[in-house]
């Protein structure tokens, strides 16, 4: 695919900037509103005039097939990709994020931070993946697109598109993701619950004088493991049917979040 600097003549046009990208590192961002990793992005220019700014769009993907999983959580891997004998065909790249950022003016080369949020929503495949992979390196692919604002030969503002072929690869230490997310809400995870399930969970907590949600869920798991949950019904919590509201007996709508 021809890049932004490709012309229709015999050779590439030198009046259009051709950008190249490389990822040189990453760090957990302190005091961000949400868990965030900042990737250090190096940008270099050949051809064309001075770059005034770049409106950059970056797709970040996990190249899951490019590492081994001998020490990973096998239950998580099975939920995401099936059994090991299926991994050769089921391990497709996981989309992590699409990030828009502005690269400030530069001449030949510059570096800037690319902030990528780290969701703790366990319904997302990327979050589940990182919970299953806690050591080693995670192979990442960065795919770039966007618009370059630059000086033309006459000094006027011109624009050019970044070639869709521009990309970069980097291997993220898995512990960095866990460092970034572990700083928030004391390292707890969040699960979306329907209002009916949340109501029954609250009732179980109050009935047994449990002090927190973690203790409540642990108590339910212990009862399920021993089969001694007296008074439990079809949902394993109360005598009401799963999916109904404990106070009204009607189907629950909406969702609640519990840590």
Question: The whole model's pTM is what?
Answer: 0.74
- pLDDT, the chain, mean: 83
pLDDT per residue over 176-192, tens digit each? 999 998 887 666 766 77
Looking up tokens 């970044």 gives 162
Question: Which of 58, 20, 22, 19 is CA-nearest to residue 170?
Answer: 22
Looking up tokens 């609250």 gives 202
226 Cβ neighbours under 8 A, 6+ residues apart: none
Looking up tokens 């707890």 gives 188
CB count in 10 Å sphere of residue 39: 22
Confidence of residue 13 (pLDDT cuts 50, 70, 90): low
């Amino acid at each position: 695919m021809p890049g932004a600097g490709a012309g229709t003549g015999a050779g590439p046009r030198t009046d259009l900037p051709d950008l190249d990208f490389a990822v040189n590192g990453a760090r957990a961002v302190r005091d961000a509103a949400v868990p965030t990793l900042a990737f250090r992005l190096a940008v270099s220019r050949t051809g064309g005039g001075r770059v005034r700014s770049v409106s950059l769009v970056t797709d970040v993907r996990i190249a899951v097939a490019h590492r081994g999983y001998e020490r990973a959580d096998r239950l998580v891997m099975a939920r995401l990709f099936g059994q090991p004998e299926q991994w050769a065909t089921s391990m497709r790249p996981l989309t992590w994020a699409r990030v828009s950022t502005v690269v400030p003016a530069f001449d030949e080369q510059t570096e800037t931070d690319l902030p990528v949020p780290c969701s703790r929503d366990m319904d997302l495949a990327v979050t589940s993946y990182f919970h299953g992979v806690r050591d080693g390196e995670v192979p990442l692919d960065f795919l770039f697109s966007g618009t370059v604002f630059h000086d033309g030969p006459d000094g006027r503002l011109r624009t050019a598109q970044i070639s869709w072929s521009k990309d970069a690869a980097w291997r993220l230490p898995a512990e960095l993701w866990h460092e970034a997310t572990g700083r928030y809400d004391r390292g707890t995870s969040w699960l979306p619950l329907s209002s009916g399930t949340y109501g029954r969970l609250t009732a179980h907590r109050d009935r047994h004088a449990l002090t927190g949600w973690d203790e409540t869920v642990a108590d339910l798991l212990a009862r399920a493991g021993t089969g001694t949950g007296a008074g439990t019904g079809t949902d394993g919590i109360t005598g009401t049917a799963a999916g109904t509201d404990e106070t009204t007996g009607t189907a629950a709508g909406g969702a609640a979040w519990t840590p």
